[in-house]
Amino acid sequence: MIKKAAMNAALGLGLMALAGVGHANVVNNNITEAEIQSAQQAWGKALIQIGQDYRTAGIDKAKRTAEAVLDGAYGYSMGPVLFKPTLTSGTQTFRTTRDGALAYFVGGDQRYPNDSGFALKGWEKYDFNNAAVYINGDMALTMGKVMLTDKDGKVTTVDKTWGFKKDDDGKLRIVLHHSSLPYSPK
């Protein structure tokens, strides 16, 4: 439970700070930019991994991987998650439950008949371009463009907002995720 990384956070502060605060025991519950960067990268890797598992080992393996991602990287164990996936609509637009999120990523849930499995589309490359980042204690918000490249080299761009909450173990969890296709002026 001890946030060792946080306790070593004094490293970058220089001699003055080390003389005054740095030699003390420090608990720091705050989110850093490096942690945000890692969490964003991990999301992209996880999305690609689910698709790879689908192609190489089938839907059951892909589903297990998706469950592991939801349990490890999202905040469903802490309550409802504010999740608006890219391709959902109507009364099923928001996926505040783990079941709803799982259906979106891997499909196969008859309660969500429009879900064909976003993570099964064969994404091979992932890039994130942050427009702005807002850090407030153990919560961070990011907004930017995500570029997903599929196996044919076709790039899909989405506008994406994330809200991360740092849990007691020092892990960032997604508690907010709003993804939308770019607006197309007529």
The span from the CA of 34 to the CA of 80, in Å, is 26
Which residues, numbered 140-179, are part of the site for its own copies (CB under 8 A)?
Answer: 141-145, 159, 161, 163, 165, 167-168, 175-176, 178
2 near its own copies, rule: CB under 8 A: yes
The span from the CA of 164 to the CA of 182, in Å, is 23
What end-to-end distance do the CA atoms of the chain give, in Å? 53
- For residue 14, give both structure tokens: 């220089």
Candidates 7-15, 52-60, 61-69, 101-109 — which segment interacts with its own copies by CB under 8 A? 7-15
Which residues, numbered 124-143, are part of the site for its own copies (CB under 8 A)?
Answer: 128, 130-139, 141-143
Q: Which burial class, exposed, middle or buried, applies to 69 when counting CB atoms under 10 A from its CB (0-12, 13-18, 19+)?
A: buried
Among residues 73, 94, 126, 147, which is the contact residue for its own copies, using CB under 8 A? 94
Nearer to its own copies, 40 or 65 (CB): 40
Query: Residue 116, SS3?
Result: coil
Q: Taking the complex as a whole, how short is the minimal distance between the CB of residue 95 and its own copies, in angstroms? A: 9
Inter-residue contact 118 to 104 (CB < 8 Å) = yes
Which residues, numbered 39-78, are part of the site for its own copies (CB under 8 A)?
Answer: 40-41, 77-78
